[in-house]
Amino acid sequence: MQGSLKAYLDHNATTTIRPSVIEAMNCALMTGGNSSSVHSSGRDARQMIEEARENVASLVGSETSKVIFTSGGTESNNLAIRGVKGRKVITSAIEHVSVLSSASDILSIPVDKNGVVIVELVEKALRNNFDSSLVSVMLANNETGVIQPVKEIAKIAHEYGAIVHCDAVQALGKVECNIMELEVDLLSISGHKIGGPQGVGALVSRGDVGLTSINKGGGQEQGLRGGTENFPGIVGFGAAALVAKNDLSRFSQYAILRDELESKVQRVEPVQIFGVSADRLPNTTCFTMPGVSSETQVMSFDLSGFAISAGAACSSGKVEVSHVLTAMGVSRSDAEMAIRVSLGWDTEEYHVNDFFNTWMSLFEFVGETNLKQNAVTG
């Protein structure tokens, strides 16, 4: 931990970089060379990129040739949706903004109170757009951690001749993300969610979906992503993928720490934990502090040395009401009190305990006072 930081609990925004990743990237930076060049430096760079591609492919159970490196999850989502032409996009109301804003005419499917996509409504939408749809559903929500019935949706969608894309950015390295088992056609992933560097991701395909490039250039990445590859970033992504695959079973243990934290905060009334009745990522919890706004909580915890968030970290630093919680039917007043705590590979039990003690102190100092005042004025 650096400076006054006591605990970094915002791993869903970006996880802390792995030491082995730094070492691999340093090696790449020392190697230099453009991977498109035919001289020895270029060939060395190409070999390291292809080794990284193998590691990433192994993590998601794909063929190596089906991994196309991008600048991250947002570009991968855009390539998947904008790169498949002439299809009606059917997605869920809780998708990442990079999916929701990737096309002008998107059909948004509601979720239930736990934040799970309503499968029956997906099928209804498919019936109305037979043989001309692209279904895009995330594997796990970045704010609540709720896991979606992707495989079930994929089976139904394929019966209607649809192409299926899955944003697995948040799920990667936390739960199994095998493209063959999920039966999706396209899978978006990103390096900085698994201990790799920011600015690198991949779009993985299971077969030929007629994907076309949205970023024209020199024909890199099989002509689907023009521009000189991010050599050190890709190498770092590959190194992170290798560690993530080996650590996948260990990651499930974070559910124990998460559940202990939730059992403690639930002693305070009326705390709400969102998506608690659904299957979730083992490291993620999203809950309210009664009487205290999300913005106040984020700033107070930061001053106390804890990094948490009020939801997705993709709004230029703004704390806004979550579209995910809104889609789940959460009231605006409750959504404005929600924070997300997400654990990662360097989280220890004492980090979570220290966080709760600070959380409790903030509630007793601010929350209880505000609740009493509201009770008097209400």
Write out the catalytic residue numbers. 314
CA dist 214 and 103 (Å) reads 13
Copy the structure tokens of residue 189. Answer: 């992933």
Instruction: Give phi and psi for 223, each to the nearest 5.
Output: 80, 5
Asked if 261 and 341 count as a contact pair (C-beta separation under 8 A), the reply is yes
Across the chain, the runs of DSSP E, i.e. the strands, are 7-8, 67-70, 88-92, 106-109, 133-136, 163-167, 186-190, 201-205, 284-288, 306-307, 338-342
CA dist 139 and 144 (Å) reads 12
CA dist 190 and 60 (Å) reads 12
Measured CA distances, 282 to 80, 101, 285 (Å): 27, 28, 9
| CB-based contacts of 352, cutoff 8 Å, min separation 6 | 7, 9, 257, 260, 261, 343
CA dist 331 and 8 (Å) reads 29
